[in-house]
Structure 1
Amino acid sequence: MTDESAGPATDIFVAHRNLLFTVAYEILGSATDAEDVLQETWLRWVDVDLDQIHSRRAYLVRITTRQALNRLRTLQRRKEDYVGQWLPEPLLTAPDVAEDVLLAEGVSMALMVVLETLAPTERAVFVLHESFGFTHDEIADAVEKSPAAVRQIAHRARASVEARRPRKAASPAETRKVLAAFKLSIETGDVQALMDVLAPDVVVLADGGGIKQAVPNPVRGADKVARLFLGGLKKAGGALAAHHTTINGRPALLVTMDDQLDGVFAASVHDGRIAGIYYIRNPEKLSGVEAEIALARW
């Protein structure tokens, strides 16, 4: 690459960096791996003849998608040896992410967990089409399939996601209100107040990665979930506190133990109650909450 072309290539990459990170993150569910994918994308982008590129956005996303798919297959092998439940790495995001409905939905913890059930190519096709609006022809170039095959994959992936997708999420304001009630019930040890804020069929997924204690399997039902949290606090022994924040575009809680980050508490809220809880305690997955991460669809 010549010095004359290095400047424009860098400017174009930087202009699309937030988009590329978001694409990689939605495909992988890992901020750490998404950053690695961006490095690999850059190394390939600097060798491209810009004069031959019709759509620089589409071309960059194509490179990113291919690298993310390669990384996703490696990640899946790591998951086979993972201790306990595997949850996506949480991201500290700006509150205004919620203003872009498609972006907030695409990175929501609830949907990211559902995306884990898809095969790699299905996940990439779903993400590119549903979250970023790419056409089947554009996606075909990215996943190295024919447009007809991409249409079939997109239909299959959408049907699979819709069958598992949580009910329509509550507004940020309602979610924040419910989380505040949950936080207060935990702080006061009020069992009835906690039961009132939990949906009868609430499900808890927790990820400690074998490093920190976490329930190895999903916990279902308000009674069991209430006992889990109130009993766990009694055993903790330290000074636990929860702080309101925005994680993956939704209101959430940062949990600290003796003023040290202990984990991230994200939740899906429906009809004024918590229906799903995602508690990430694995310290290797918490780097994405140290500083706000910019996301974008364009």
Structure 2
Amino acid sequence: MAQRDGDTAPVDDHELLARRFEEHRPHLRAVGYRMLGSLAEADDAVQEAWLRLSRSDPSGVENLGGWLTTVVGRICLDMLRSRTSRREDPLDVRVPDPVVSDLRGADPEQEALITDSVGLAMLVVLDTLAPAERLAFVLHDLFAVPFDEIAPIVDRAPAATRQLASRARRRVQDAGPAPDRDVARQRKVVEAFVAASRGGDFEALVALLDPDITLRVDGGVLARNLSKVVQGAKSVAGQALMYRRFAPLARLVLVNGTVGTLTAPEGEARSVMSFTVVDGRVVRIDILADPERLALVDLSFLGD
């Protein structure tokens, strides 16, 4: 393989190629996460990209990072299409895998996953897109891949690929106003929500919630009875009071870079709550209560 991407020596053996691939792994994992909303599936896509690279002749690759990005995109597109075709119940509530970190901030590996303000709410919106729309939007808008490089992946002309991204962009923009990115303001609202839940203060809860708030709970296969979508401030406040006994166990954390809560008695995750705050009110709450996926959440920061 010829010298590429600023190498000081030609990549001419498997070991060096593997090291070069590892340099790109955080970026590729971020691409997979935005495409799939699943950390495990993102890792599978990245591993498949390595297998394809190791079986290919990379001597003609001018930009290894760009080549790998499009390969991961193609793999994720196939995975999304397969997921769509086998989904039996379109009403299933699915909350993407959260990236949970201490309020002090995410570590560098986590930070790579959640840059570009990719919160759970945005990932939920991306889940509503057609696979080709999601690919065009993610690769172009979030990773600045040119449309003429995306077009062959979706088997469309560049102009048609641009339209895919445009439709996806409108869906993302129409999903609601941009959330408040100020962590201090987010924290104030979430702390007030937790305090009102602990105190059983229904009126205080309603005052913190947008009248049209949406609550989504993903209980997964093992706790599917927990899965639900609830709308309206009074209904969501009522749900909060139903589970007020768990409120004292809630710990404030960052969920995909925004303030949320983690319930993890004795270090075992029971739920992760993501709050979307706009103008001082909660407009959306996404809760992951799936025991299988919660078991995979990295909680190593709890020992800090």
Runs of 4+ in 1 over 4 A off after TM superposition: 96-100, 213-216
Alpha carbons of structure 1 residues 176 and 289: separation in structure 2 relative to 1, 3 Å: farther
Amino acid at match of 1:200: P
Alpha carbons of structure 1 residues 214 and 189: separation in structure 2 relative to 1, 3 Å: farther
Q: For 1:167, which of 172, 177, 182 is the aligned residue?
A: 177
Q: For 2:48, which of 40, 50, 63 is the aligned residue?
A: 40
Note if contact 1:126-1:158 (Cα within 8 Å) is conserved in structure 2. yes
Gaps of at least 5 residues in structure 2 are 2-10
Alpha carbons of structure 1 residues 249 and 292: separation in structure 2 relative to 1, 3 Å: farther
Query: 1:46 Cα deviation (Å)?
Result: 1.2
User: Are 2:25 and 1:13 aligned?
Assistant: no
What SS class does the counterpart of residue 289 from structure 1 fall into? Answer: coil
- TM-score when normalising by structure 1: 0.86
Corresponding residue number in structure 2 for 1:29: 37
Corresponding residue number in structure 1 for 2:233: 222
What SS class does the counterpart of residue 150 from structure 1 fall into? Answer: helix
User: Are 2:121 and 1:113 aligned?
Assistant: no
What SS class does the counterpart of residue 8 from structure 1 fall into? Answer: helix
Alpha carbons of structure 1 residues 210 and 22: separation in structure 2 relative to 1, 3 Å: same
Note if contact 1:82-1:209 (Cα within 8 Å) is conserved in structure 2. no
What is the identity percentage for the equivalent residue pairs of Structure 1 and Structure 2?
Answer: 34
User: Are 2:136 and 1:128 aligned?
Assistant: no
Alpha carbons of structure 1 residues 214 and 272: separation in structure 2 relative to 1, 3 Å: farther
User: Are 2:95 and 1:87 aligned?
Assistant: yes
Aligned residues: 287
Alpha carbons of structure 1 residues 221 and 209: separation in structure 2 relative to 1, 3 Å: same
Q: For residues 176-208 of structure 1, give each alpha carbon's deviation from its aligned partner in whole angstroms, at most 9, with x where no partner exists.
A: 221111111112222232222211211100000
- The structure with higher relative contact order (CA 8 Å, sep 6+) is 1
Corresponding residue number in structure 2 for 1:296: none
Supply the distance in 2 between the matched residues of 1:216 and 1:188 (Cα, whole angstroms): 25
Q: For residues 26-83 of structure 1, give each alpha carbon's deviation from its aligned partner in whole angstroms, at most 9, with x where no partner exists.
A: 1111111111111111100113333311111110011101111111122224443488
Q: For 2:283, which of 271, 275, 279 is the aligned residue?
A: 275
Corresponding residue number in structure 1 for 2:115: 103
Corresponding residue number in structure 2 for 1:180: 191
- TM-score when normalising by structure 2: 0.85
Note if contact 1:191-1:226 (Cα within 8 Å) is conserved in structure 2. yes
Supply the distance in 2 between the matched residues of 1:202 and 1:86 (Cα, whole angstroms): 17
Supply the distance in 1 between the matched residues of 2:23 and 2:267 (Cα, whole angstroms): 37
Alpha carbons of structure 1 residues 265 and 214: separation in structure 2 relative to 1, 3 Å: farther
